[in-house]
């Protein structure tokens, strides 16, 4: 659960993924929002960059679908999101040149969809990016667990090495004998 409801359209459920849809074209915003709601997302909407940034506050959505050319600029919203979040960012734009895509990716976008687009394609891209985010989070958690396990193993090895050294010094035995005695104790 993400806590308090965010302003915007109808809430699907308290544990639904949150999608920010920011576009100055009300028809596109409504279409994208409806498709994402039908796919199970809780959608919040903005018609300009300032509103989108205010809605984000200190809690980023799970995914943001941003119009590049909305008032205030979608690239600005993407850059602000990327400062504090790894949420999926999908840019929408009528511009499709290589420089336009580069600027979007430089601002932190994960994907770039050129208008006009098919709504089911956009929904599929959002789903893929959220799945990639989930897998990235799992990988990071597993990596943290592995790192902790490695630290424990290294600490245990260090303690074992010191114990072997003490046994060797105290009882004047070789390393293999000291290690065997230590293993028998545990």
Question: What does the pLDDT read at residue 146?
Answer: 74
Tally of structural domains, the chain: 2
117 lies in the same domain as 147: no
Q: What is the Cα–Cα distance from 43 to 45, expressed in whole angstroms? A: 7
Cis peptide before 135 (omega within 30 of 0): no
Phi-psi region of 8 (alpha: psi -120 to 50; beta: other; left: phi over 0): left
128 lies in the same domain as 149: no
Q: 102 is written with which tokens? A: 């580069």
108 lies in the same domain as 32: yes
130 lies in the same domain as 145: no
103 lies in the same domain as 32: yes
Q: 85 is written with which tokens? A: 């979040």
60 lies in the same domain as 151: no
Instruction: Please state the pTM of the whole predicted model.
Output: 0.69
* CA nearest to 86, candidates 134, 23, 49: 134
Q: Is residue 4 part of a domain?
A: no
150 lies in the same domain as 72: no
* CA nearest to 51, candidates 27, 72, 81, 67: 72
Question: What does the pLDDT read at residue 143?
Answer: 76
144 lies in the same domain as 105: no
133 lies in the same domain as 150: no
Taking 50 as the pLDDT cut, the residues of the chain under it are: 1-13
Q: What is the Cα–Cα distance from 49 to 67, expressed in whole angstroms? A: 9
* Domain around 87: 18-137
User: Are 64 and 20 in contact, with CB atoms under 8 Å apart?
Assistant: yes
Mean pLDDT rounded to a whole number for the chain: 83
91 lies in the same domain as 127: yes
Residue 67 maps to which CATH number? 3.40.50.2300
């Amino acid at each position: 659960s993400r806590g308090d409801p965010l302003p915007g359209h109808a809430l699907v459920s308290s544990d639904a993924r949150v999608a920010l849809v920011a576009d100055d074209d009300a028809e596109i915003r409504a279409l994208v929002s409806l498709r994402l709601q039908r796919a199970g997302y809780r959608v919040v909407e903005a018609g300009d960059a300032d509103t989108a940034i205010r809605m984000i506050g200190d809690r980023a959505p799970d995914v943001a679908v941003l119009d590049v050319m909305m008032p205030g600029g979608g690239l600005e919203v993407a850059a602000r999101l990327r400062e504090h979040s790894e949420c999926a960012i999908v840019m929408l734009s009528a511009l499709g040149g290589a420089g336009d895509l580069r600027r979007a990716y430089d601002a932190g976008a994960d994907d770039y969809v050129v208008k006009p687009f098919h709504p089911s394609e956009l929904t599929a891209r959002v789903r893929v990016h959220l799945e990639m985010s989930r897998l990235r989070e799992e990988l990071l958690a597993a990596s943290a667990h592995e790192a902790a396990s490695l630290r424990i193993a290294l600490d245990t090895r260090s303690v074992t090495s010191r114990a072997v050294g003490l046994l060797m010094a105290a009882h004047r035995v070789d390393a293999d004998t000291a290690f065997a005695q230590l293993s028998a104790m545990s």
